[in-house]
Amino acid sequence: MKNLTAALAGGAAVATVLDGLKEREARKRDLRARLDALDAEDRAAGRASEADYLDGLRKVCTSWRKLLNADAVHGRRVLRDLRIERVPVRQDERGR
């Protein structure tokens, strides 16, 4: 609104400002339609939503922790086979 007020106060023609607003609204509608089309494509291809992906990732991470705790040598071999070179490790709230 500040920019709109400044443009009008600076002598910009109302028609010019309105044309700019219309162009931006059309661009916004176009981008929204493209995003909706991509979302529909993801659903049609059976791709998981972000929430489903994160839920699956949490399950895999839990399984990884169990695997690494049970057999660290095997876990390292799997990580190497997957070409995972670095695994960042942080301490939890209990300092482990």
**Predicted local confidence at residue 46, as pLDDT:** 75
CB 67 within 8 Å of CB 61: no
Q: Are residues 14 and 38 in the same domain?
A: yes
The domain boundary, picked from 44, 61, 78, lies at: 44
Q: Are residues 57 and 39 in the same domain?
A: no
Q: Are residues 73 and 37 in the same domain?
A: no
**Predicted local confidence at residue 62, as pLDDT:** 76
CB 17 within 8 Å of CB 4: yes
**Predicted local confidence at residue 1, as pLDDT:** 65
Here the tokens at position 35 are: 């995003």
pTM of the predicted model, to two decimals? 0.41
Is the pLDDT higher at 96 or at 60? Answer: 60
| pLDDT (tens digit per residue) in 28-42 | 999 999 999 988 887
Give Cβ neighbours of residue 7 (< 8 Å, ≥ 6 apart). 17
| pLDDT (tens digit per residue) in 40-54 | 887 787 777 778 877
Amino acid at 89: V
- Environment class of 5 (CB within 10 Å of its CB; exposed 0-12, middle 13-18, buried 19+): exposed
**Predicted local confidence at residue 29, as pLDDT:** 95
